[in-house]
């Protein structure tokens, strides 16, 4: 799959898995809603129930900015399988025009955010590398 197709498949996916690095060097993986905003990828801490407001993903990014995002497609017809992974550097945005712009991008993708805009911190990822695979 070429990079244009990989980016299009990635952008159209509804959920990604965000991988961060814990302070002990171990992996931490969570599903996230996201939007592609120009050359960056954004996700937000929203109001869906969380175990705690002190999210490990945010703490991990503050220590290790390197992250990966993965989207994939599975079905029983294995010739239709594919995945796209983005490796990059993340930063946390709390307030200001960058956060507002990210929320706008997320509202454009997810109708659930239009009625009640999320107000939590934004994770903004600047991709360093796009990787993909497709069975066909």
Q: What is the DSSP string of the chain?
A: --HHHHHHHHHH-S-EEEEEE-TTS-EEEEEE--EEETTEEEEE--SS--S-SS-HHHHHHHH--EEEEEEEE--SSGGG-EEEEEEEEEEEE-SHHHHHHHHHHHHHH-THHHHS---SPEEEEEEEEEEEEE--
For residue 84, is it within any domain?
yes
What residues make up the domain containing 37? 3-131
- Predicted confidence at residue 49, as pLDDT, reads 56
Residue 111 lies in a domain: yes
- pLDDT (tens digit, 9 = 90+) per residue, 77-103? 999 999 999 999 999 999 999 999 999
Summarize pLDDT for 7-63 with one digit per residue, the tens.
999 999 999 999 999 999 999 999 999 999 999 999 998 766 566 667 899 999 999
CATH number of the domain enclosing 108: 2.30.110.10
In the numeric block, which tokens belong to residue 127?
Answer: 């991709």
Residue 56, domain member (yes or no): yes
Residue 15 lies in a domain: yes
Residues 83 and 73: beta-carbon distance below 8 Å? yes
The predicted model scores a pTM of 0.93
Domain membership flag for residue 136? no
What is the number of domains present in the chain? Answer: 1
Please indicate, yes or no, if residue 85 is contained in any of the structural domains.
yes
Model confidence over 101-119: pLDDT tens digits? 999 999 999 999 998 888 8
52-55: long-range contacts, CB 8 A cutoff, minimum separation 24: none
């Amino acid at each position: 799959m070429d990079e244009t197709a990989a980016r299009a498949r990635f952008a159209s996916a509804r959920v990604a898995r965000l991988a961060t690095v814990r302070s002990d060097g171990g992996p931490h993986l969570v599903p996230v809603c996201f939007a592609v905003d120009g050359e960056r990828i954004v996700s937000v801490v929203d109001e869906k129930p969380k175990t705690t407001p002190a999210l490990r993903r945010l703490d991990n990014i503050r220590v290790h900015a390197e992250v990966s995002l993965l989207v994939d497609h599975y079905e029983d017809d294995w010739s239709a399988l594919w995945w796209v992974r983005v490796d990059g550097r993340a930063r946390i945005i709390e307030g200001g025009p960058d956060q507002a712009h990210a929320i706008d991008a997320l509202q454009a993708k997810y109708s659930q955010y239009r009625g009640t805009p999320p107000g939590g911190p934004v994770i903004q990822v600047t991709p360093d590398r796009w990787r993909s695979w497709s069975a066909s």
